[in-house]
Chain A
Amino acid sequence: MEENKDKQLNDFVKKIVRSAGLETPSDGFTQNIMSKIVAQEEKTTAIKYKPLISKRSWLILAAITVILFTYIIFGKLDLSISWLPNINSVTLNKIGFMEVLSQIHLPNTAVYALIGIMLFFYVQIIYMKRHLDNRLGLS
């Protein structure tokens, strides 16, 4: 009797749940999801940090520099350029600016202060870079 009643209820609930049907989401539902997926994929591909000068170019540059220097140092190259007037005799000696530089005398405190400021300047570069990277969401 009890079992029969439960079966009856079971059939009844099946009938009403089916006749009620499902809820319908908004019209743009699928469209919304697809555009979110596209946006998400663009984000992951676009913000990949790409160095301006790739590792390969750095290697090539380094190789060129090394080759040039070895050539200059060991290659017994004549560095005098025939059509230029001799720099030593013409300009530097007459202006005498090397002498002017050597005549500047700074008190020791000023030298320490300048060195200190320089150090802070370099430290600041590191912090500024980190700060800007964070703001741009690069790291």
Chain B
Amino acid sequence: MSQKPDEDLIDKVIKGENNAYAILVDRYKHMVYTLALKIVKNREDAEEVAQDSFIKAYNALNDFKGESKFSTWLYKIAYYRSLDYLKKNKRQVETTAIDISEEYNIASMDDALDRMEVKERAEIIKHAIEKLPAADAVLITLYYFETLSMNEISKVMEIPANTIKVRLFRGRKRLAKILENNLEFENIQSYGRE
């Protein structure tokens, strides 16, 4: 990889080279924006929160000691900025009641998803993740997409690693159930179209 490590870029920014920060923003903007969107659930607000997070990180860069990865540190800022945003706008973190004791069929879901086009499949999965409680959505994205360890996630969300394990277990069950419901709904709709 020809990518410069984060630490080099951070050093440059601290020395006054602003352009180096643009590279860092480009590197992490997708993840930060996705995390914000999972919590505030609205594109414009998420964009604002994500930009705010990057500016806050920039201003606090001198305090970044390098004890954790830059990305983990940044995600933590974004996570708390998003929660603050909800609080400021007096909105509750939305939750959907899903009964996780119900059964689901992985094989048939996998099958149904495989038959879809790439774009449609991404959409239906994203919708399912959106319906999760915000904390679960963040957790699942960090764990499965960013492949952070439970310890790292525990630093970002300030939740003990054991709790994360339990929440992850419930979260993926919930996600499977929501996805199955969505897929069934989609199926009924497509029969109607034929």
Contact = CB atoms under 8 A, between A and B. Distances in A.
Interface of A: 6, 8-10, 12-26, 29-30, 32-34, 36-38, 40
* Interface residue SS majority, chain B: helix
Contacts of B122: 19-21
A13 B176 contact: yes
Interface in B91-148: 106, 109-110, 113, 118, 121-122, 125-126, 129, 140-141, 144-145
A31 to B, nearest CB: 8
B22 A30 contact: yes
Given A10-B172, A20-B129, A21-B122, A34 B21 contact: yes
Interface of B: 18, 21-22, 25-26, 29-31, 33-34, 37, 46-47, 50-51, 54-55, 58-59, 106, 109-110, 113, 118, 121-122, 125-126, 129, 140-141, 144-145, 169, 172-173, 175-176, 179
Contacts of A10: 172
B121 A17 contact: no
23 contacts: A9-B106, A10-B172, A12-B110, A13-B140, A17-B125, A19-B118, A21-B122, A22-B141, A22-B145, A23-B34, A23-B37, A23-B126, A24-B30, A25-B30, A25-B47, A26-B47, A29-B47, A30-B25, A32-B51, A33-B55, A36-B55, A37-B21, A40-B59
